[in-house]
Amino acid sequence: MASINYALKEISCKIVYYGPGMCGKTTNLQFIHQRTMREKRGNMVSLATPGERTLFFDFLPLEASQIHGFRTKFQLYTVPGQVMYNSTRKLVLRGVDGIIFVCDSQWEKMRGNLESFHNLIGNLSSYGYSLESTPYVVQYNKRDLPNIAPIEYMQYVVNPRQVPSFESIAIHGNGVFESLNAVCTMVLAHLSQKQKAGVV
Amino acid sequence: MWNKSLVLRQRGLAAEGLAGTLEAGRVGSHPLSQASSIGNPGRASAGAMRREFTAISVLSMLIAFMAGTVICMQITHVETPSGWEVSASVLWTLEAAIFGTAVYAWRPAVSLVGWVLGIAGLTLVRVGLTVAAAAGLTAMSGGETIYPAMQNTADAVPRVSAILFSAMICYPLRLFLPERAPRRPADARRFAESAAVKSATAAAAAEGGVLIVTVKDRGATVEDESRRAAETYQAPPLPVPDMEGAINLPASAILAQLPREMVTEKALAVADSHDVPIPLEAILGQLREARVVVSIAQVMEWLPSRVRKALVQPAELTLHEDAVELPLNLVVTRLPPEALELPPPSPPAWADVGTSEGVVFATTQ
């Protein structure tokens, strides 16, 4: 859950990268870590297997531009994508403020994308959250590979409500910051709306 | 046996990914001091060492004792140069220090009791050497002169030689010195305080801020299937467009999905030149599930007769119950565009950022 510290004038939000295994969640974070200025980010922590599969989570703290005099800090997390680590995914989702759902654009991964999306919805509901109240964007990754599905079909399967979506090639950085900026903007706007409504 | 057990330990450690592991008791500990669980070679190697001692070391000890005695007899007449005299108490202290150092060097993991035993044993052997040398000299003189061992003990030169030989004699016995229990590190359950993280953090600081901690994947516990089913989201159905017609898929692509025992060489040869019309009504309702599954009976119905006749039906196959998945990439790319038409966008309220300030991250080029 986002925290606002009026004394320090700081807003802190949690963003989770979600998606099936090997879709590029960790790659997103690695690129962001590489390209963000050192004084605006912390150390990236990766808990992974020797085969570089995320076992628990990846974590990267970032600081963004000031908004209305408040320092904005974002804690980026990724979840392990393998099916058997659902408990860990659920734990990482606790207190989430924004989600970037990363899809693997390859044809053979389409079913996995859908199952991961359903899994996301199920895990959110276990905390009483839903995608109705949690800002998220969809990132269609690996757009550089040859055997990929058209965007229209991916929208049809994963994003029928047509929330903001981005094509990406995370390994080269294409679409990475665009997705992150979009979800962070929506998270802060949503937080502002809730504050005005007196919910926060 | 010793070498085999050592190799087994090393292989086990390599497989577990010793570097950076968070497993308590292994971080920072010497591999050779770790207990191995592979067939308990630790105990086997100790037994093997004892067998070696019994076979070889006793002989070497005897030889060293005899040689030490002879040497001590030979040099007992060497007088200590003037000005080099050292008092007996200093000699005893130095001797104990030398023996203590030797025991620790032979067996770094020796317990306190083992250390004391080692010093006592070495001292005993050293005294035994000088006693034997004195007895030998007495015997050689025909009993006319009695050489007290304590007199030789006071002399530095024969004493040093006795110390050296006693070390040679006692070296094989080091295996029997008791070792202290392996020190268990404090329960480093706090991830941030664990040695692995600290060492990795130091490396991360040098490498520019990425902390990668490699852990052993012990696998996840199998979750209760019923709980998982309850949490599965049931997406609201999209309206299925009312469309007629069919898409044509290559027959060879369809045959590739059928059970291998059904497809003959003749069927493959015939299929090359045929397409299979698949009705849209069988496809559209399943598009949202990211797969199109049809029964084999339906596929047989759609196949051209020439291809169908070249197939065989195994007895165990139930055409109406067994299903195949059509290649999604071929299906979707042949659909008319309106099949994937979505209703107007209906994002939730949070998607409307209005005039909110965009977030900007400071990036390098």
- What domains sit in chain A, N to C, each tagged with a CATH number? 3-196 (3.40.50.300)
A165 interfaces chain B, CB cutoff of 8 Å: no
User: H or E segment at A139?
Assistant: strand A136-141
**pLDDT greater than 50 at residue B223:** no
Contact: B350, A40; criterion CB under 8 Å: no
Segment of A89-93, B25-29, B87-91, B131-135 carrying the highest mean pLDDT: A89-93
**pLDDT greater than 70 at residue B201:** no
Candidate from A38, A177, A190 with C-beta closest to B209 = A38
**pLDDT greater than 70 at residue B295:** yes
Per-residue pLDDT tens over the stretch B239-278:
677 778 889 999 999 999 988 888 888 888 888 888 899 9
The residue ranking higher by pLDDT, B312 or B200, is B312
A192 interfaces chain B, CB cutoff of 8 Å: yes
A190 interfaces chain B, CB cutoff of 8 Å: yes
Helix axes A86-93, A110-126, angle to 10 degrees: 60
Candidate from B219, B345, B364 with C-beta closest to A35 = B364
Count of CB atoms situated within 10 Å of the CB of B307? 25
> How much is the pLDDT for B356?
65
> How much is the pLDDT for B188?
43
CA distance B235 to chain A (A): 8
> How much is the pLDDT for B28?
34
**pLDDT greater than 90 at residue B310:** no
A11 interfaces chain B, CB cutoff of 8 Å: no
The residue ranking higher by pLDDT, B345 or B110, is B110
Segment of A51-60, B93-102, B219-228 carrying the highest mean pLDDT: B93-102
3-state secondary structure chain B: CHHHHHHHHHHHHHHHCCCCCCCCCCCCCCHHHCCCCCCCHHHHHHHHHHHHHHHHHHHHHHHHHHHHHHHHHHHCCCCCCCCCCCCHHHHHHHHHHHHHHHHHHHCCCECHHHHHHHHHHHHHHHHHHHHHHHHHHHHHCCCCCCCCHHHHHHCHHHHHHHHHHHHHHHHHHHHHCCECCCCCCCCCCCHHHCHHHHHHHHHHHHHCCEEEEECCCCCCCCCCHHHHHHHCCCCCCCCCCCCCCEEEEEHHHHHCCCCHHHCCHHHHHHHCCCEEEEEHHHCHHHHHHCCEEEEHHHHHHHCCHHHHHCCCCCCCCCCCCCEEEECHHHHHHCCCHHHHCCCCCCCCHHHCCCCCCCCCECECC
Chain B residues in contact with A84 by the CB 8 A cut-off are 219-220, 222-223
CA distance A41 to chain B (A): 9
Percentage of chain B modeled with pLDDT above 90:
13
Contact: B350, A193; criterion CB under 8 Å: yes
Segment of A143-147, B87-91, B232-236 carrying the highest mean pLDDT: A143-147
Q: Which residues of chain A have pLDDT under 70?
A: 49-55, 199-200
> How much is the pLDDT for B9?
35
Per-residue pLDDT tens over the stretch B126-166:
988 888 888 888 887 776 666 655 454 456 677 788 888 89
Count contacts between A and B (CB, < 8 Å).
173
